[in-house]
Structure 1
Amino acid sequence: MTPELSKAWELFEAGDPQESMHTLRRAAEELASEEIAPLVAELAAGAGFTDLAEASTALAARPANAERLYVFGYACVERGIPALAVPALRAALRLTLAPPSTPERTGLFRRRSTPRPESRLTPRRVLLELVTSLEQVERHADALALLRAHDSLMADWPDRYLTVYNALMAGRIDTARQVFDGLSEPEGVWVEPGRRVGRMLDRAAALPPTGSRDLRGWHCVLTGGLLLTLSPHGFDQGMTGRWAYLQDDFDSCRHGLERLRTVLDATGRRPASVGLLPDRGSRALGLAAARLLGVPASPYRPGTPDVLVVAYDLTACDPETVHALTERAEGELLFEHATCWTETPGASADVCTLLVQTVTAPWEPRLRLSEDGRAEQAEPDDRSAEELAEAILAADPTPAEGDGQTPDDPDPVLAAFAARAAGLWADGPRARIRSAGPVASGRFA
C-alpha cells in the first residue's frame, strides 16, 4: 500500500471521509484504480452513492477488466470526482485498444480459440468518457493530445468538436481553427455548440490574445465578455489577474461601475434602463448603476430590449433567473460585479468587474482585526438595498494600488480593447464556460 493510500485509509477510519477523499484526489495519478477501489466503495457507501459503491466493489473483485474500469470511471465522473476517473478510464482505453490474445495451440496445425464475450464497450466510447473527465479537471492539453493521437477512432460530432474545444481551452488557436474548418455541418443538439466554438474562433482572430497571461484577452475569446479589472495582487506569484479570496468593499463596487461606463462609452452602447435582480446585493448595485448612468431602474423582466441587467454575483441569484439570462433580448447587456471563475455561473456576463473564487460582499459578515490584533467576525450590514446604493455612490472610485506586479491597466487601455471588441461583443447566447481556459491562476483546493 502506498503512503498516500495508507494515509487516506487512516483519515477514513479516523472519521474524516472528506479529507480522505481529498487525499485520494490529490494522489490519483500515482494510485492504481483497483487499489483504491475498496476505500472508494466505503466512502461512496457512506455518502449514499450506491452506483459508485457497486462499481468500486466490482472493480476490486476483478481488476484489469476494461468494462469494470469504465463503469468505475463513469461513476466517478457522475459523482463529481473526475480526478479518480482519469487513471481508470486510461487503463480501460489501453485494454480496449489491445489486440486479442493469441489462441492456444492444441496440435501441430490446430488452434483452440476461446471466444470472447460480446462487449458494447468500444475504444471510442472509452475515449470520449476519458476526455470528459480530463475536461472536468481542466487538463485540456492532455485531452487534446489524446484526441489527436486517436483521431482515426473519431467522428466529427462530437468527437472532433471536442478537439476544437480543448484546443481553444489549451490556448492552441491554430489547431482549433484547422480542425474546425474541416468539420462537417453539425445537426441536432450539436448545432449550437458548433456555433459557440465558431464565435470563439472569430473573436480569437479579431482580438488575438498576447500570451498565456493575457487574462482579459482569453476571457473575451472564451466567454465573449469584457473583463474590467485585474487583481492588483500576486500577478507574478500565479494569480495572473484573478482573485482567490476577496473581502470586497464599496470602493471596488464604485470603481467597477466607473469602468462599466468606460466600456459603454467605448462601444457606443446606451442602455435605456437598468434591470434589477431581486437579491439585495444586485438590487443595490443596480440602483447605483441607474443613478450613475442617468436611466430608470425597474425589476428585470426577460425580453426587455436595451436593458442593462445588473448582478453583484450571479451564483447567489435565483437559478431560474440566471437560466433566463442565457438568452438575450435585443440590445440587452448583462453586467456582473464579482464573477466566480472556479464554479462559473450559468450565464456568462457581457461585462464583469473581477474574477474571484470566493468573495465576501461589502454587506456580508467579514473578518476584521480587533484592537488587540485578533481576527474577529464583524456584524453584517443590514441596511436596505437603497441605502447600500447610496454607500456605493459615495465611495471612492480610485483603484487599489496593490503590490505593483500587475500590468498597468488605465481607462484608455480598457477603452481601446472594448472598442476593438465592439463588433463581436454581446452576440449570441450567454453560454456557460466551465473552464478557466489557458490562463492558469492559483486557487483553493
Structure 2
Amino acid sequence: MHTITSIPADDEMCGWYHTSQPRTPRPGHVGETSVRWAVIGAGFVGLAAARQLALNFPDDEVALIEAQEVGFGTSGRNAGFAIDLPHDIAADDYIGDISNAQSTLDLNRLGQAMLREVVEEYGIDCDFTASGKYQAAVEARGMAHLNAYSRGLDKLGQSYDVIEGNALPEHIGTSFYKKAIFTPGTVLLQPSKLVKGLADSLPHNVKLYERTAITGVTYGEKVVLTHKDGSITADKLVLANNAFGMHFGFLQRTMLPIFLYASLTRPLNGSEKARLGGKPFWGVIPADPFGSTVRRTQDNRIFVRNSFSFNPDGRPKGQNLQRAIERHKLSFNRRFPMLPDVDFEYSWSGSLALSQNHKGFFGRLAPNVFGALCCNGLGVTRGTGTGKLLADWIAGKRHDVIDFLLATSGPNRVPPEPFTSLGVNATLWWGQRKAGLES
C-alpha cells in the first residue's frame, strides 16, 4: 500500500464559502464499496470529470471523493475569474507560441461553455456574469507589461480596449491605476457558490462522498482507496487533486504548491457605494503577475488578493496569512482612500499548482489510473475543460484539444530539497519586491 503523506486542511475563514448558500455536506464514505470509477477531488477538474464520466457511462457508478467539504477547498478559494484568454506568464506578451495559445484559448472557452451550460440548466445562483476583466498597471514596469500584452492579443487576433487612467474611475471607481486593457471574454463568478451548485446537480449515477480523506492506496488490477472508515475499490481511478496527486505517487517533484492570500470586506453601504462610483461590479488583475487582484463583487464587497508563499506539503501556515492581511490593508488603502472605514470581514489562503515550465499533465498515469493535474492558475476554465475532456478521452472520443493536451510534454521535474524551496522562495520574494505599487 502507498501511504498518503499529506491531505488538504484549508484555513477556516474563506469569505466565498461563508457568504455562499449553506448546504448540508454529503455523508462521508463508511464501509467497503466497489465501483467502476473513482475520482479524487471535488473541485473544478473532479466535478467536470465525474459529470462527464457519468454521462459517458450511464450504467456505471462514479464515486467522487472529497477530503473536505465541497466549496471549502481550493476551487472555492480563487478570485472568481473564468478567463478565456491564454495567460502564459513565461512569455513576454502572455501569449507565447501562437499555435499553443490558440489551443489554450479553445480549451478555456470549452470550459467556460460547459460551466455556462450547467449553470443555466440547473439555475445555479453563483453571480455568473460575462463582465470581462481589466488588466491594470500603475508603474512603468506594469505599463510595459500591458504594452507587451496588447501586442500578444493582436498576434492572437483578440479584441480589447485600452483605457487610460483618467477614464478608469468611470469603470472601477478608483483613480489609482494609470492604464488598463479591458478584454470582454472573462466571466466573473462567486467560486464557492458555483462549486456547491455543480456538486448538487451531478447526474444520478455519481455518488459524492465528502469529508473522506484517502490515507492509503493500492495499485494493481483494481485500485483500492483506504480511509479511516473503510475502503473503496475501483476499476479505474481519476486523480483530479492537483498538487496532491504527487502524494499518490505520481509526477514526483513536478508541481509547486503556491499559496495566495485574499481578503473580503463587509458590504459597502449606500454612501460608500456613492463615494466609490464606477460600475456595480468588476474585476482587475495586475499587469505584473506579483501584483494585486481586486474585485468589486455583486454583493458590494471589495476583494483583494496578493502575497505568495511556497508550502511544499500543500497545507496553509497561519503566520503567512497574518502577514498577508497587513499587505492587503496597505493595498486596499492605496486604491480606495475614499473608503477609510471599510474593514475586512474575511481573510484566507488558497493554493494553486504551478510547474516550472508552466505545463500540466493530461492522460494516463499508470494502468487503470488517469489524471488531469497542474492547472497553473487557471483552474476554473482549464480545470473544467481538462476534466471533461479526460472523461471523453477515456470513453474513446476524439477532439482537437484532446490531441493538443496529450501531445503536451507535461510538468518538468524540479531539483530535490532544499534546493527547490530555496529557489522558489527567492523567486517569490524578489517578484513581490519588484512589483512595487502594483502589489
TM-score tier (shorter): under 0.3
TM-score scaled by length of structure 1: 0.23
Structure with higher RCO (Cα < 8 A, 6+ apart)? 2
- Structure with more of its chain in strand, by fraction: 2
Larger Rg: 1
